[in-house]
Structure 1
Amino acid sequence: MSWDRVHRRHRLVHAVLASGLTTVPFERAAEVDAEFGDFGGFLQEVQGRWYRAFNARLDALLEQPPQDLRDALVRLWRDLALTMPAARLMLDANADHPALVEADDQHRRLLHAATGVVLSPAPLATR
């Protein structure tokens, strides 16, 4: 992927999330479809950004694991939601979208494999 495309996608994700909506604003729909294929592709981009940020923080956390790892993971999730509120709002509002389900399930499995902790979406809800 070229730098131009990376920057274009970044600006577009930022603009859509800055709208505060949980869908793509009408005036951005054609641009999102052209860049990401459809709303599902856009959601996957937001989800990928979320999990990259989460995993970076997870790596730091696991360098010196706390005694209550489950609680620390929930706090990590919630703290990231405060850092990336528009992304979390978009992902939570569209959690049942088919484009998100597989990666969410995979991340839960990988998190369990890495930490031994099973986190369901319920304790992670930020609303």
Structure 2
Amino acid sequence: MSWESSRQRHQLVHAVLADIAATGRPHVTGELATRVTAEFGDFDGLLREVQLRWYRAFDARLDALLEDWPPDIDAALTALWLDLSAAMPGARFLLDAHAGRPALADLDAHHRRTLHAATGVHEVRLPRIPPPRRRCRWLVPRTSTA
């Protein structure tokens, strides 16, 4: 994948998350849906991309967390999840809204296994963020203009 293609995919994901923030619905419609299909093949392809980005961010924070093992790993994992949900609310809302889709099952299962291997925790009950109200600005990812 070329740099330009990668940049376009990133911008499309950002546009989708901004649209979700504007509508308060975790669906892609209109011109964005056409672009998603062209770039990702279908909506499931977009979901997998957002899911992969979520888990990459989670794992980076997990690595930092595990450098100094916390006394309560369950509470630390929950706090990590909530902090990342605050940093990436649009992605978390989209993934939570489509959590039962088969397209997300493989990576979710893989991540559960690797999380268990890294922490010894068999299952962490992680909270889901509530659906946003319409026109929720906090869902729009912040970008730097510098």
* TM-score, reference length from structure 2: 0.82
Which protein has the bigger helix share? 1
Deviations 1:10-46 (A, max 9, x none): 0000000111231112221111011001001000000
Amino acid corresponding to residue 115 of structure 2 in structure 1: L
Which residue among 50, 73, 77 is the counterpart of 2:77? 73
CA contact (8 A) 1:19 1:25 kept: no
**Cα contact 1:81–1:126 (8 A) shared by 2:** yes
Aligned residue number for residue 123 of structure 1: 126
Match of residue 6 from structure 1: 6
Q: Distance in 2 between matches of 1:57 and 1:40?
A: 26
Percent identity for Structure 1 against Structure 2:
56
Corresponding letter in the other structure for 2:70 = P
Structure with bigger RCO (C-alpha 8 Å, 6+ apart):
2
Residue in structure 1 matched with residue 101 of structure 2 by the alignment: 97
CA deviation map 1:39-66 (0-9, x unaligned): 0100000000000000000000010011
Q: Does 1:42 align with 2:46?
A: yes
Residue of structure 2 equivalent to 1:60: 64
Aligned length: 126
2:58 alignment partner AA: F
2:26–2:93 Cα contact (<8 Å) kept: yes
Flag structure 1 segments of 5+ consecutive residues without an equivalent: none
- Structure 2 gap segments, 5+ residues each: 131-146
Cα distance between partner residues in 2 of 1:26 and 1:76: 35
Q: Is 2:81–2:126's contact at 8 Å kept on the other side of the alignment?
A: no
Q: 8 Å contact 1:16–1:25 — kept in the other structure?
A: no
Which residue of 1 is the match for residue 33 of structure 2?
29
Report how far residue 102 of structure 1 moved.
1.2
Structure 1 residue 101: Cα displacement: 1.0
Give the TM-score taking structure 1 as reference length. 0.94
Q: Deviation per CA, 1:73-92, whole angstroms, max 9, x where unpaired?
A: 01100110010000000000
Aligned 8 A contact 1:74 1:123 in 2: yes
